[in-house]
DNA sequence: GGCACATTATCAAAATCTTGATGACTATCA
DNA sequence: TGATAGTCATCAAGATTTTGATAATGTGCC
């Protein structure tokens, strides 16, 4: 498509385009974004038949590893705002997939844990979602996997550093 | 923050993985997601002072490379639904950053292109966003960059293959 | 020439996420 | 004991995205 490039007469150039200043060859953001987009799209296809959205699946997954975690802590784990997690948990509770009960000691905290149905739903969704992860894992050798993980970790560190000093 | 994690040192952590046989050590999805989350958060911080959201920035960026593209095609480029792109373009048009005019041949298509103000806004936002990309690029050697890109590409391919045969 | 097909844009409704602000509770320290 | 700081949950309003469905237009095939 688009054989038309952004032809701009070099005469009146009130703002040079930094997009051209940084060659696409060095733009890694696009690659990361593309991979994550493919991942989230595939996961959505995977968990939808189980009646779950991706955020709901993520919450159930984290909840299975940390039973009794608070809503705010769960939100941090899933990288969403506490309010968004509240809505997710409300929906999950209405459908009987999670259970919330006041904490014995901290009356202000609501302990959240999976119900039997929640475990079942997670298992159903995960059975399909795992095929995505499995395909991902099988694509690489253990060395490549470790390599990729390390590179991504450095990405996150570099991004965080840049964002802090923005 | 969060010096108090949800520690429960008492015995049974019950950290059984619901993933049935896929150790977290092999779950690359989390790593990709974390990197992309950091990236999108940083970019949001970067483009916000320019009065743009990340989707708006993405649309302007793609528009700068493909002037006169249709809304639906732009949506595909930015990996969002056509409806979402319609809203984004409406907001951008109301603020005078883009211009839409009927296509000479296809009267059903609305040609969209950036205005002067649009180019300026993109330049302003990109000036800050580039610092994120720059930090990312400077974090790696050219070999590492090529390596990471290749690994991510294989990720996308593997995910797409798995999603197709879901 | 006429008809089915694909693409485009749009309307409408529901769900989700974000920002901002409030009230309640516990832990730490003077 | 009393006060300050930090965490948790929630309300409210706004913006964004998604799903589903409809009308108009150009293209290819019969």
Tens-digit pLDDT profile for residues B76-86: 988 899 999 99
Residue to mutate among A70, A73, A151, A160, with most B CBs inside 10 A, is A151
Q: The domain A47-164 is classified under which CATH number: 3.40.1160.10, 3.40.50.920, 3.20.20.70, 1.10.10.10?
A: 1.10.10.10
Domain ranges of chain A: 47-164
In chain A, what percentage of residues exceed pLDDT 70?
A: 85
Contact status of A148 with chain B (Cβ, < 8 Å): yes
Q: Contact A61/A55 with Cβ under 8 angstroms? A: no
**B102, pLDDT greater than 60:** yes
How many residues can be counted in chain B? 166
Tens-digit pLDDT profile for residues A95-111: 888 988 887 677 678 88
Which residues, 6 or more positions from B52, have their beta carbon under 8 angstroms from its beta carbon? B60, B121, B125
B1 touches strand D (CB under 7 A): yes
Say how many Å lie between the first and final Cα of chain B, rounded.
Answer: 40
Most confident range (mean pLDDT) of A161-165, B56-60, B106-110 is B56-60
Dump strand ranges (E) for chain B: 98-102, 110-114
Distance CA(A131)–CA(B32), nearest Å, equals: 16
Tens-digit pLDDT profile for residues A14-38: 444 444 567 777 788 888 888 888 8
Mean pLDDT of chain B, nearest integer: 83
For residue B46, the chain A residues in CB contact (below 8 A) are 163, 166
Tens-digit pLDDT profile for residues A123-143: 888 888 888 888 888 999 999
Give the pLDDT of residue B21: 57
Say how many Å lie between the first and final Cα of chain A, rounded.
Answer: 36
A109 touches strand D (CB under 7 A): yes
**B16, pLDDT greater than 50:** no
Which residues, 6 or more positions from A53, have their beta carbon under 8 angstroms from its beta carbon? A44, A47
Distance from CA of B59 to the nearest CA of A (A): 14
ipTM of the complex: 0.77
For residue A159, the surrounding DSSP H or E stretch is helix A142-164
SS3 state of residue A100? strand
Distance CA(A22)–CA(A33), nearest Å, equals: 17
Average pLDDT over residues B91-111: 86
Strand C positions with any atom < 7 Å from protein CB? 7-13, 16-20, 23-27
By C-alpha distance, which of A82, A65, A64 is closest to A73? A82
**B12, pLDDT greater than 70:** no
SS3 state of residue A39? helix
Give the pLDDT of residue A14: 41
Distances in Å between the alpha carbon of A106 and those of A70, A72, B33, B98? 11, 14, 33, 53
Tens-digit pLDDT profile for residues A62-71: 899 888 888 9
Contact status of A141 with chain B (Cβ, < 8 Å): no
Q: Token pair for residue A89?
A: 């948990």
Stretch among A116-120, A139-143, B12-16 having the lowest mean pLDDT: B12-16
By C-alpha distance, which of A54, A164, A106, A3 is closest to B29? A54
Q: Contact B99/B112 with Cβ under 8 angstroms? A: yes
């Amino acid at each position: 498509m688009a054989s038309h490039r952004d032809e701009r007469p070099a005469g009146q150039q009130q703002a040079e385009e930094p997009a051209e200043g940084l060659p696409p060859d060095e733009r890694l953001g696009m690659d990361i974004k593309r991979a994550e987009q493919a991942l989230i799209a595939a996961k959505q296809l995977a968990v939808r038949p189980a009646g779950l959205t991706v955020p709901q699946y993520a919450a159930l997954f984290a909840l299975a590893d940390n039973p009794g975690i608070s809503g705010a802590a769960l939100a941090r784990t899933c990288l969403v705002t506490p309010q968004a997690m509240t809505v997710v948990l409300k929906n999950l509770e209405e459908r009987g997939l999670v259970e919330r009960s006041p904490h014995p000691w901290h009356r202000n905290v609501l302990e959240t844990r999976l119900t039997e149905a929640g475990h079942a739903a997670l298992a159903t969704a995960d059975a399909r979602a795992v095929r995505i992860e499995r395909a991902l894992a099988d694509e690489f050798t253990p060395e490549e996997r470790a390599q990729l993980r390390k590179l991504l970790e450095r990405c996150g560190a570099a991004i965080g550093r840049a964002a802090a000093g923005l």
